[in-house]
Amino acid sequence: MPSDPWEEDGFQVRRVQPFEAVKTYQCPGCSQEITAGIGHLVVVPPEAPDLRRHWHKPCWEHRNRRRPGRA
Ligand SMILES: [Zn+2]
């Protein structure tokens, strides 16, 4: 059963179940691939649905601890 999206930090977040994950995505949190068959999250800015991003669940949860662009 697909889960309903929820809102977090102004983004719409939805869980992608392993059986729904049929493509490979790049996680913006760790820059690693999310391979097909891996459950993860899809994060959608409500004002720009085309800019949705696929995140590993732990990377999304820890996103505020990361400083993008920091060596
Ligand atoms: Zn990640």
pLDDT of residue 22: 96
Q: 28 alpha carbon to ligand 1 midpoint, in Å? A: 7
32 within domain boundaries: yes
Which residue has tokens 């899809």? 42
Query: Rounded to two decimals, what is the model's pTM?
Result: 0.84
Q: 47 alpha carbon to ligand 1 midpoint, in Å? A: 24
Q: 1 alpha carbon to ligand 1 midpoint, in Å? A: 24
- What six digits make up the tokens of 5? 């999206």
Residues 6+ apart with CB under 8 A from 51: 44, 45
66 within domain boundaries: no
Q: 53 alpha carbon to ligand 1 midpoint, in Å? A: 11
DSSP 17: P
Q: 58 alpha carbon to ligand 1 midpoint, in Å? A: 7
| Tens of pLDDT, residues 3-48 | 789 999 999 999 999 999 999 999 999 999 999 999 999 999 999 9
Range(s) of the domain holding residue 27 = 6-55
Which residue has tokens 């869980």? 15
18 within domain boundaries: yes
13 within domain boundaries: yes
Q: How many domains does the chain have?
A: 1
38 within domain boundaries: yes
69 within domain boundaries: no
48 within domain boundaries: yes
51 within domain boundaries: yes
